[in-house]
Structure 1
Amino acid sequence: MVIATSNNSISFRGYQGVYRCYASNNGGTAVSNAINLKTESTPKWPKASVQQFKKEEGESLVLQCNPPTSIASSMIIWMTSTLANIKLSERVSQGLDGNLYFSNLLEDDSLEDYSCYAQLPGTRTIIQKEPISLKVTTSNSVRFRKPRLLHPRGQGSSRLALRGRPLNLECIAEGLPTPSVHWERLDGNLPAGRVSYQNFNKTLTVHDVAEEDDGEYRCVVLNRQGRVTHTYSVTVEAAPYWVRKPQNGRYLPGENVLLDCDMDAKPKAHIVWSVNGVLLNETDPDRRRTVTGSRMVLTAVKPEDTAVYQCEAENTHGKLLANFYMQVIELPAQIFTTSGKEYQFVEKQTVYMQCENFGAPTPKIAWSKEEMVSIYDTMFLYTCPLCHPTLHIET
């Protein structure tokens, strides 16, 4: 059921799909961006027995969270069953994947109820995984060892970053003593002012990604026993974005009009044009209208061409929509200068007489002079029936 409300919004009950809002008046029809409505029941972890781990001091361990898939993003929090937070440090990390990583274990890590909680802000719901039991025993031969990456695996991997969004790169390693993490860029400097570090330097975030951030980034993980590295090859792409957003415009009959959706995208976007919300290929053909990619040319426009035009660009990363109003108007000529205005001047001076006017199409200009008699001298009265805005007289 779909219910319209008094504040121009809609309440949906049980309907999934893509929706658009259309707003119309005598000037045309504007269209909203597509709204993709999805619904699902609250996700649940499958029933499972309590996991139990028994490890020796100094070993590494990864506790898996694996939250159920959901169309809504979730925030992962590790706590005990009594809702006490698990303390994180250089040695104990929560990865971006939600897993809990121990670079090396201590006896104090023993706990009967490591619990992964997934918070779904959209539905204001928190779901809990079955607790995990961990018992860490004392070892008589704790072995020091050089770092080894737990996440990601291997010496290198590829990442896709989107223009304008944050990029998160992560390196989590095990080793004894606890390794430290450092970051560098192999083909340039890290973006000044747009870089931050989280999770005890294990996560590098590049904020507001730009095209020049394309390149190779490396984490260096080391302790007294050695070092290990991982290189991320980052490729930057972009959802459609405006280079210059189209503006509304007023035009005169007979003018040629260029409507330009000046945008960019990577990969290249597919562009469709509409008029008053109707796709051009579904309207009657018009020889005066030419569309070439992101540009539409209308020749010799007429008042009936007044409408709201839409261009919508789409690639694999997103959509971009613009509504712009094109008004073709005819207005009668008008003179705004006060009638009978007098100018007094001394002989040999330069005189400027104003005649403010307006009309569409632009009025044609003409000045006329009417002779009149003064008790002082012969004077002339210049009138502007529809004229150049300024008359320049050298006396």
Structure 2
Amino acid sequence: MKGLVLLLLPLLFILKDVSAQWNVWMPRDISTMTNSCVVIPCSFTYPSGIRPYKAAIHGIWYFGQPYPQLFPPVVFKSRTDIVHESYKGRTRLLGDLTHKNCTLLINNVGAELSGKYYFRADLGGANIYTFPDFAQLEVLDQPNINVPDEIISDQSLDLTCYVPDSCPDMTPEIHWMYTDYLPDPLFTPYSVEDSAVQSITLTFTPRPMHNGQLLGCRVHYPNTTFVYERIISLDVKYAPRTVWVNVSQEVMEGSSVVLHCDVDSNPGPTITWFFGNKELTSVIASNASLFLENLTPEDQGIYTCVGDNGYGSMNTSMFLAVNYPPREPWINESISAVEGSSLSLQCISKGNPMPTLTWLKNGELVGTITAQEEGSTLELHEIQPQADGVYKCIAENEHGRASSSLNVTVEFAPVLLDDSKCTIIREGVQCICIASGNPEPAIEFYLPDLNITINGSNNRYNFFTHSDHYMSTGIIKLRDKGERGNNGDTAVHVHCSISNTYGSETIRLELQQEKKYIMAVIVGTIGGVAVIAFIIAAVRYVGQNNKKENGNPGQDVGSKVENPEMFYSSVKKDKQSLRKKVGDDSDYQSVGPIGGMERQELNYAALEFLHGRHREGGFRRPDGDGSDYTEIKTK
């Protein structure tokens, strides 16, 4: 009965009117722990005009229904001990009905006793009244924990554990469990003396790591074996704290890849994939995958996964590299340039990894450059004719190669070659003038002694020109032998003029006396007899060849020997062109002389008949020694 009076004081019903009618006060909701007891405070009033005898005042408590005609279970009855079987030996009236106090005590409360409790006042005679108000009893098997609707990470949290203290003979003790891993927990007991509730508040600041952590409240009644516990799991709301995606990776063009994203947050986030600033997909889940198929170089870039759950957002990015072989390089169009000028040859190629760019000229390595921003430049300064040729740019990386070519044509002033000269032939004197230049130079001959310019054939002079790939050849035959010099040699004054757009040049052609040189070698080496035998065989050979070439079977060998025709040709070997051509089947070839230009050589032999008889039609040496000779063309 400890503190019963004080317990009832705050529960007293205050009458607003002393002439009030039937009224009752009892707590609408009351709770207790199973196996303990509960006190239901109660007070009532009746009309002031009723004057009952103390002995005539009785009270009845019903369970579930207030009306006796419905036969509700009787909890307590002041006149007899006849009560419902469930309440035998469990109930006792603590209040004094004569003082309008109807407080009820229920011991050894079980869960089956939970429900509504009604009081009926019997003042004798017809003064009987059942109050419609009731007390709702809740029998608990565990304490209550007051949990906020929302627990947010990094914000202070108060959790309060409540336990009924409605049994005067049993005082509960409350403890929090599983708090060892909480950051600086604070425990604050709260109780009001003679109140019906005891509590203790746990205060701490939760972190994302505490989401899902178990906490418990334990209630124990001293000197009893009654122990009650309640366990809760913390639902800590927190913004995404980790966003995991694939590490940056490399894939081949045309392949497929799957990008994964996992987000740690509570509640679960909305996961959105971005490529640059472009949104690709969005889904509400803790993880999401992005499927990319048939990749192209345009798919290379930064992919970002963003997780957002309303409490915050977080993102993580990765770089996807799409590897592919070099594309066909872009280079300049074929170029013509003037000797001495400068050129810049551009080569641009895309590839991943960045391709290495290699320059070849006519198959020969010129330079290797690792492309910067997909391009390179080959600088040619003060170019010379040797720069003429085919330039190829090769782009290579570990996945393949590609190439493109261009022609560089160098235009330059004409240059007279050393093979230009005059020689004595049977008909007179033959002069040859060979020049290179671009454009191919024009050739003409000038005879200063006669003040004649020869650029075409006539009855007196045979003139012939031929041009082929930067090379021009001019030939004239002079039927007059010229003047005899002081030393007895034939003197010929012939000038050769060469010209094109970029310049001209005139040079005097020297008369070459090859016949004396050749005869000296023959005489000194073979001897007189061998010389004669060799000469006869050579003459016959020439005669037979002339017969075949002239297509004149009627002419006998002897006539051919006596009148051998002389031939001259300018022989140009195929490999001696100014530009060296490179085959498409190979990028790397050896390169010949600079610019591909080789000096042409005139192939001939001069035979001189020493001390022979002069035959009509023969050509006598200018020095009058009576020697006959011929020139034999060799192939």
Q: TM-score, normalised to structure 2's length?
A: 0.21
Larger fraction in helix: 2
- Larger RCO, structure (CA 8 Å, separation 6 or more): 1
> Whose radius of gyration is greater, 1 or 2?
2
Q: TM-score, normalised to structure 1's length?
A: 0.31
